[in-house]
Amino acid sequence: MNRQGGMVKDQDDKVPGQGERIQKVLAQAGVGSRREMEEWITAGRVTVNGEPATLGMRVVEGDVLRADKRTVHVKAQEDRDFPRVLLYHKQEGEIVSRDDPENRTNVFEKLPKLRGMKWIAIGRLDYNTSGLLIFTTSGELANRLMHPRFEVEREYAVRVQGVMTPEQMRQMTREGIELEDGPVKFEKLTDEGGEGFNHWYRLVLKEGRNRVVRRIFEALGLVVSRLMRVRFGIINLPPSIKRGKMAELGDGEVNMILDWVGLSAQTVDEEATEDPRAAEGKIKQIKSAPPHKGQRAEPAKTGRNVAAKGRQKQAGAAVSRGGRNKTKAGVKG
């Protein structure tokens, strides 16, 4: 078949290695994850140069893609934007969704504006949970950090009304507990003390089911009065990022994250099969900062016009570089 407008319409007609799969290009442009883009293509929501896209189609420089209302102009590989990663310190009373019938405060409204891309939230936090939110323009990076098969650790500081018994603490780090949507357990659990009726714990999970931490403590007969995420994989919430503020990571820190999840800075493995544990020996985990209490918010510098050095200073020790404990993200099975 003939090529029209630059796109390769048939696998048998293309020069070997020419072009890239359309779902990969859309994911790299931040439209969505590769898996989501495959679903959009199947549903007829994607076109290439005005023609319906098909799974397996490859596109080359100069092609114009439309995914619903988004337009992506395919660039040469070397001209594509480097993935951007933004850290945001979410406050209670904010939602992580672009659409809300109740018109509540939306975290996306506070993010820097993008052209031809969109911010993808890596792991949501519910309305009453605060702490680390990560945003990226790379759908492949978001998929590597969120997909359950990679078992990326999430660390939380949680304050509950009451105290866990020694038996409950042992149970939650060994056999776990059965919830309505399946079993769950903590990878780590430490008693951080407290005063009066309130008690602090720090825990680590390798999954991100909806409201899973609150549901676990409810099943144990304890009410969560405050919940804060302080780490996601090797990315910590730096004390320098105050509540409601943000900072963009520098290119060096982004490269560390890409390396840790098994992605190249310029190319993304299409089948996402590399084991992130291969990078485990390169990056070690440092202890996350304790919950921020009584801090006053200061403006944070954001945007690509900020120098990389300034971004890294603002973000502080956002990406773990050393410490006693190694990270434990890996591919399941």
- pLDDT per position as a tens digit, 214-269: 999 999 999 999 999 999 999 999 999 999 999 999 888 999 999 999 886 554 43
**Residue 110, SS3 per DSSP:** helix
Instruction: Give the per-residue pLDDT at 245.
Output: 94
> How does pLDDT run across 79-116, given as a tens digit for each residue?
556 889 999 999 999 999 988 888 898 999 999 988 77
Q: How far apart are CA 141 and CA 137, in angstroms?
A: 8
11-79 — its CATH code?
3.10.290.10
- Tally the residues of the chain: 333
Residues of the chain with pLDDT > 70, as a percent, come to 72
Bridge-partner residues for 20, per DSSP?
Answer: 59
Q: Which one from 63, 99, 126, 259 is the annotated catalytic residue? A: 126
Range with the largest mean pLDDT of 104-118, 193-207, 259-273, 298-312: 193-207
- By C-alpha distance, which of 62, 20, 22 is closest to 42? 22
Question: What's this model's pTM, rounded to 2 decimal places?
Answer: 0.64
Tokens of 10: 């048939």
Same fold, 11-79 and 153-232: no
CA-CA distance, 189 to 46, in Å (whole number)?
Answer: 45
Q: Using CA atoms, how far apart are residues 333 and 326, in angstroms rounded to an integer?
A: 20
pLDDT of residue 305: 32
Number of helical (H) and strand (E) elements in the chain, helices listed first: 7, 19
Measured CA to CA in angstroms, residue 241 lies from 3, 29, 89, 292, 308 at distances of 50, 27, 6, 10, 16
126 catalytically annotated: yes
Question: In sequence order, what are the beta bridge partners of 224?
Answer: 160
CATH code assigned to 153-232: 3.30.2350.10
Q: Where are the domains of the chain?
A: 11-79, 120-150+234-326, 153-232
Residue 162 or 20, more confident = 162
Q: Is the distance from CB of 286 to CB of 236 less than 8 angstroms?
A: yes
Residue of 304 and 135 predicted with greater confidence: 135
DSSP 8-state assignment for residue 58: E
